[in-house]
């Protein structure tokens, strides 16, 4: 109630201006279908599609990846979650997406969830990713999160290297001009058709 419909606006409740979000459909389709080339992201998205559920930590990780690494308009992710989550609630969903995109309330600006760190902390043996991506089950536990040629080629580079420092080329990205690195999946966005 405090923010009214600002939680649905691109600038969010903080009215953040100047971020150039991409609406690259091919990249978005890879994310929503769980074919990004990053097993932790893909497993969470496959779980959501299959069950209508994703853990809170998973929601934060895939949100961070979509907005921080892919540079995709956060509202597309929020809408996708809205169309699939069994426990959907507008305030929780859009509040969490504005938070993850840096346009909502967050005491730490530019919050980023490092995939290598999250994988190590929350799925150190790769059992979760092997469950949702069975082709990874035959790999050694140390390879399941970063399987190289045994899995899909990542569609984007991660914004931060393992050191936690930004990659030089990511400091001033214009997300609207990002190029898609590999072939995408067919199928259109199945959320409500809202104009951004």
pLDDT at 4 over 50: yes
* Other beta carbons within 10 Å of 155: 23
Q: By mean pLDDT, which of 105-114, 118-127, 185-194 is the weakest?
A: 185-194
Distances, alpha carbon 57 to alpha carbons 22, 54, 142, in Å: 24, 8, 21
pLDDT in tens, 112-125: 899 999 999 999 99
Q: What is the pTM of this model?
A: 0.78
Q: What are phi and psi of 72, to 5 degrees?
A: -85, 145
pLDDT in tens, 127-165: 999 999 999 999 999 999 999 999 999 999 998 755 444
pLDDT (0 to 100) of residue 18: 77
Q: Which residue from 104, 11, 120, 107 is spatially nearest to 57, judged by alpha carbons?
A: 120
Q: 151 among the known binding-site residues?
A: no
Percent of the chain with pLDDT over 70: 72
Q: 87 among the known binding-site residues?
A: yes
Q: Which residue from 37, 47, 128 is spatially nearest to 84, judged by alpha carbons?
A: 47
Q: 125 among the known binding-site residues?
A: no
Q: Is the dihedral of CA 55, 61, 65, 68 positive or negative?
A: positive
Mean pLDDT over 6-26 rounds to 75
pLDDT at 24 over 60: yes
Q: Is the dihedral of CA 133, 134, 137, 139 positive or negative?
A: negative
Over the chain, what is the mean pLDDT? 80
Q: Which residue from 83, 44, 30 is spatially nearest to 193, judged by alpha carbons?
A: 83
pLDDT (0 to 100) of residue 118: 95
pLDDT at 179 over 50: no
Tokens 């691109």 locate to 10
Distance in angstroms (rounded) separating the CA atoms of residues 76 and 194 = 9
* Other beta carbons within 10 Å of 131: 14
């Amino acid at each position: 109630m405090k923010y009214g419909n600002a939680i649905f606006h691109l600038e969010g409740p903080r009215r953040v201006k100047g971020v150039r979000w991409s609406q690259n459909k091919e990249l978005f389709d890879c994310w929503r279908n769980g074919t990004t080339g990053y097993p932790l992201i893909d497993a969470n998205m496959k779980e959501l599609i299959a069950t209508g559920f994703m853990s809170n930590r998973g929601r934060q990780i895939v949100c961070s990846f979509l907005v921080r690494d892919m540079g995709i308009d956060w509202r597309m992710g929020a809408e996708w979650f809205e169309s699939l989550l069994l426990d959907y609630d507008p305030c929780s969903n859009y509040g969490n997406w504005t938070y993850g995109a840096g346009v909502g309330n967050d005491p730490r600006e530019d919050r980023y969830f490092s995939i290598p760190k999250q994988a190590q902390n929350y799925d150190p043996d790769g059992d979760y990713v092997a469950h949702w991506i069975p082709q990874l089950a035959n790999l050694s536990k140390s390879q399941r999160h970063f399987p190289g040629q045994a899995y899909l080629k990542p569609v984007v580079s991660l914004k931060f290297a393992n050191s936690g420092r930004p990659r030089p080329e990511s400091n001033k990205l214009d997300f609207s001009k990002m190029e898609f690195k590999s072939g995408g999946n067919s199928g259109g966005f199945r959320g409500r058709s809202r104009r951004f």
